[in-house]
Amino acid sequence: MMLSSLNALVPMLCVTSAAIAAMTAEAFRAPGERMPIGPLGVVGLAGAAVASVALWNHNATSFGVVSADNFGLFVTAILIIVGLLTLAFSGAAIARDDLPQGEYYSLLLFAIAGMMLMATASDLLVIFLALEVLSLAVYVLTGIRRDSPTAVEGAFKYFLLGSFSSAFFLYGIAFTYGLTGSTKLDRVGSLIAAQAMSPTPMQLLAVGLLLVGFAFKVSAVPFHMWTPDAYEGAPAAVAGFMSTGVKAAAFAAFVRVFLSAFEPLHGQWWPVVWIIAAATMIVGTVVGVAQGNVKRMLAYSGIAHGGYLLVALVAANDVGKGAVLFYLLAYAVTNVGAFGVIALLDSGSRANDEVLDFAGLAREHPALAALMTIFLLSLGGFPPTAGFVAKWYVFGAAVKAGYYWLAIIGVLTSVVSVFFYLRIVVMMYMSPEDAAVRFPPVPRIAGAALVASAILVFYLGILPARVLDWAGASIGTIF
């Protein structure tokens, strides 16, 4: 009986065990010795994948606060994909920057375990604990290049603003507990539903405080200020991991809390989220156009994509709910791939992360330039890529729900964003090569990971029906 109560925790226990093993391996590593610690992470994530498949359709729960329903397992699968791709891109960065292997891999795996817990938690306090576990690991990963002033600055800003947002989130939990006497989402939802006919100011305050905490984690305007500095300072592989894994986990909890527990108050909170979604899409796109650094440009791109996801959250219909999960998967494989290319272009002496540094890439690394083009076109929403299908369903959900202006803003900002994606493509194929730029060779494992990402981008764009069905059925398990 005791062992069966742990079933829902098995995927994150696999990842946590791998993180502990990485720390132990680092402790026994001789100074200067290069020990292959990365494969431990692959084993842990593979174990989590097997456990997730075994738990599918079983709706296992652990201790009444962790629910391995299909919704949580779908997000867990996204996090496993993000983790495996990040591990593939990290080896070159660790060797180049002489980063501590054990520390890097253990922090990465602890962050993934926190993300998995956040995606499957059915209690507000457990969501908060998961949020802190992943946040503390990501803060350190952001500034892991301790000799880089940019990295230290980005990590410090992320930590300060993250602590501030955590306080808002914790106060929101406290007010919710004061109103309902519980932090379990099902209990909160039933009590809120009983009082939904006459919402009180205290209920609205609790919803507002929780909204601030979630908005920070998904980089929504006006809580996005940390994003470009953190992404620029972090190693490119870590930036890709942050932009996708943190967003997937945060949106999973966001959906559980707002479309399940606080769904009876949808009429009160949707206008605020509508404004935040519109502002996020506009600011992310307009400011992204002016960026000369590719990592900062992708940071603002990520902000805009967070706005598109908020559109689906506002719509809150059957199409929108399934579109959230599909969009998270499409964005994850696309954005990790784009940051993976940036990670592989870093030569150590030169980051090669400015737009001008991509000049002539198609002549020296034609395959890498082609892969980067695929990822950028998907981010821009070009058919037949995953990005096109994801945006189609999000905007379709908004139109179906009657939010026409929100859909129009989304389409217009998506069109404008094409400018800064194609600017890099033009630089790679149509600009003369900069003699000062020298691109390093591409490791085989990292190259294979990029190809796998591109295949997924096309698969989700050409044959999305099965994954969309899984997404729709998965999110239905929490309602």
Band of residue 430 on the pLDDT scale cut at 50, 70, 90? confident
Query: Per-residue pLDDT tens for 270-279?
Result: 899 999 999 9
- The residue-averaged pLDDT of 47-67 equals 91
pLDDT of residue 4: 57
pLDDT in tens, 390-419: 999 999 999 998 999 999 999 999 999 998
Helix (H) or strand (E) holding 422: helix 404-430
Mean pLDDT of 308-324: 86
Contact 335, 239 (CB under 8 A): no
| Phi, psi values for residue 184, rounded to 5° | -75, 135
Predicted pLDDT of residue 477? 74
Q: Say whether pLDDT at 434 is over 80.
A: no
State the pLDDT confidence band at 35, using cuts at 50, 70 and 90.
low
Instruction: With cut-offs at 50, 70 and 90, classify the pLDDT of residue 52.
Output: very high
Residue entry with tokens 């738990």: 55
pLDDT average, residue stretch 3-31:
84
How far apart (Å, rounded) are the C-alpha atoms in residues 162 and 146? 20
**What is the secondary structure of 355-386 as a DSSP string?**
GGGGTTHHHH-HHHHHHHHHHHHHHHT-TTSH
Mean pLDDT of 212-224: 90
User: Residue 201, Cβ neighbours under 10 Å: how many?
Assistant: 7
CA–CA separation, 272 vs 310, rounded Å?
11
The larger pLDDT score, comparing residue 436 to residue 274, is at 274
Helix, strand counts (H, E) of the chain: 20, 2
Average pLDDT over residues 247-261: 91
- 160-201: per-residue pLDDT in tens? 988 888 999 999 999 999 988 889 988 988 888 887 667 788
Cβ neighbours, 10 Å, residue 404: 10
CB neighbour list of residue 441: distance below 8 Å, 6 or more residues apart: none
Give CA–CA dist 135/163, Å, rounded: 9
| Rounded CA separation 373/380 (Å) | 10
Query: What mean pLDDT comes out for the span 365-382?
Result: 92
Residue 263 pLDDT greater than 70, yes or no? yes
9 is written with which tokens?
A: 């925790």
Only one residue has tokens 């305007």, namely: 221
pLDDT at 120: 93
Q: Report the chain's mean pLDDT, rounded to a whole number.
A: 89
* Reported confidence tier of residue 145, pLDDT bands at 50, 70, 90: confident
With tokens 């698969």, the residue in question is: 459
Transcribe 280-317 into DSSP letters: HHHHHHHHHHT--BHHHHHHHHHHHHHHHHHHHHHH-S
Looking at residue 323, its pLDDT comes to 87
Q: For residue 435, name the pLDDT band (cuts at 50, 70, 90).
A: low
Q: Is the pLDDT of residue 436 over 80?
A: no
The pLDDT, as a whole number, for residue 189 is 86
Tokens coding 308? 């598109």
What's residue 135's pLDDT? Answer: 93
- The per-residue DSSP string of 209-221 comes to HHHHHHHHHTT-T
Q: What is the pLDDT of residues 318-352, one digit of tens each?
A: 777 888 999 999 999 999 999 999 988 887 667 77
* Token code pair at residue 219: 């980089």
**Amino acid of residue 451:** V
Residue 111: which domain range? 4-478
pLDDT at residue 431 is higher than 80: no
Predicted pLDDT at 377: 94
Nearest to 385 by CA among 442, 443, 319, 454: 454
Give me the half-sphere count of Cα atoms (radius 13 Å) on the Cβ side of residue 214. 31
Q: How confident is the model at residue 1 (pLDDT cuts 50, 70, 90)?
A: very low
pLDDT for 380 equals 92
Q: What local confidence, expressed as pLDDT, does residue 86 receive? A: 94
Residue in this structure with the two tokens 């998270």, named with its chain if needed:
328
Q: Can you tell me the distance from the alpha carbon of 173 to that of 176, in angstroms, rounded to the nearest whole number?
A: 5
Structural domain count, the chain? 1
In the predicted structure, residue 241 carries a pLDDT above the cut 50: yes
Cα distances (angstroms) measured from residue 211 to each of 162, 221, 306, 321: 14, 12, 14, 18
